[in-house]
Amino acid sequence: MILNANERTFAPFSLTRLLTTCFGRGNGEKVCILIDLPNPADMKDFKFLEDETLSIQNYGHEFFYKGFKNGQLDEMNWTGGEIFAYKETGGSNLDMEDDCFDPEGNHLSLDRDIYTKYDIILTVSTFSATAPLTAKCKEFGFRGATLHGLNQIILDTGLSVDYELVSEEAEKLRLGLTKADSFEIDFEVENKVYTLKLHTRGQEAQKSHGLCPPSKGGDVANLPAGEVYFVPESAEGVFPFKYDESTIGLLHVEDGMITKSQFVYGDYAEIEDHNRRLKDDPMIGAIGELGFGTQVLPFSGRDIQDEKILGTIHVATGRDDHLGGKITPDLFKEHKNASHDDVLYAPHKTPEIRLQQARMIRGEQTEILIEHYKPAKYMVDLLEAELAVEA
């Protein structure tokens, strides 16, 4: 397999190919697009298109809405193709307000007018809607995909791959990591090494692989896809956190919770603010996910794609109910705190933090998975092996 993104070639973006691969050839399903806006009433007469800062939403309009209106609905044997706007949540995976608007300016309800009337819902947004939409799809039975942070690199690469192959490769890695007892990650910052240990206790590994066929019923895919992930049952140790381009702190973890941030360098006020928030609402420090990227892709500058790149790791804090975990929004002191935030470790994003090594422990077996942001032999061998097919 090709392990260097610079050596890969990608087919031109095709909305029809992407959606029929991910959702299956259509059978008259009704589809719509949701976008988030600071003022959702700006959907009227597509006023939001005048705002150049809303590039993500512009991509949703140009490549999805116009694609549907230009005949690709018929190619997929789908119906609908409408677009609606809801108010941006202001945080990753926060619950969405029910109000939404259509291009005619009609004030609608997501629950009443969207979730009950559409079979497939595509959400192109600034802030991830994966968690709230996953909860809603279980309630209303629709399928969907979340595509937050969309940009041209993602269109040209992460959304232009063969998701049948992505699913197959994710499954190879999932089988190689499943039922692990724990994972250890060594980080180096300022010539000192810190280790975070996450306990998965024989848990079945899960995968984000982009396929959401009719047989799955209510389900939401995250696109671009390509990761194997766990919901840790506990964790302890220390791991570094990059607050901005100038500030690094060390997050201390006990019993699966971040208890404090320790200043390394930069703006001490950011460390103080984080510690204040941890004291005020300890659930924001809950460790909710450990994820490993499975795809060979170029870095896009957006976590939605970059966390899916082979050799990267992400540790998430906050709610994890959409991943099968027990951290639900009602456990947080305030609604605005009930987010799911991925902390991505990747060479372009965290060059100050060196990922020395990531290891899996399963019984008496210890395997090195990643060294210096590159997959180790164990992961490469998994990907190069033939995937066993049950008779």
Question: For position 312, what pLDDT does the model report?
Answer: 98
Structure tokens at 40: 């959702």
- Spatial distance between the Cα atoms of 241 and 261, rounded to a whole number of angstroms: 9
Long-range contacts of 2-6 (CB under 8 A, 24+ apart): 2/296, 3/296, 3/310, 3/375, 3/380, 4/296, 5/157, 5/296, 5/297, 5/298, 5/299, 5/309, 6/298
Average pLDDT, the chain: 95
What is the predicted pLDDT for the residue at 100? 98
Q: Are strands 30-37 and 79-87 parallel, antiparallel or unpaired?
A: parallel
Question: What are residue 239's DSSP bridge partners?
Answer: 251
Break the chain down into helix, strand, coil percent, rounded to 5. 30, 30, 35
Q: In sequence order, what are the beta bridge partners of 265? A: 248
Six-digit token string for 32? 């719509």
| In the predicted structure, residue 3 carries a pLDDT above the cut 70 | no
**160 secondary structure, DSSP code:** S
Tally of CA atoms within 13 A in the half-sphere of 231 that contains its CB: 13
To which residue do tokens 């959401």 refer?
A: 212
> Could you tell me the maximum CA-CA distance found in the chain, to the nearest angstrom?
63
Do residues 136 and 214 lie in contact, with contact meaning Cβ atoms separated by under 8 Å? no
Mean pLDDT to the nearest integer, 9-26? 94
pLDDT of residue 216: 78
* Span 172-204, pLDDT tens digits: 999 999 999 999 999 999 999 999 999 999 999
Other CB atoms within a 10 A radius of the CB of residue 386 amount to: 6
In eight-state DSSP terms, residue 386 is P
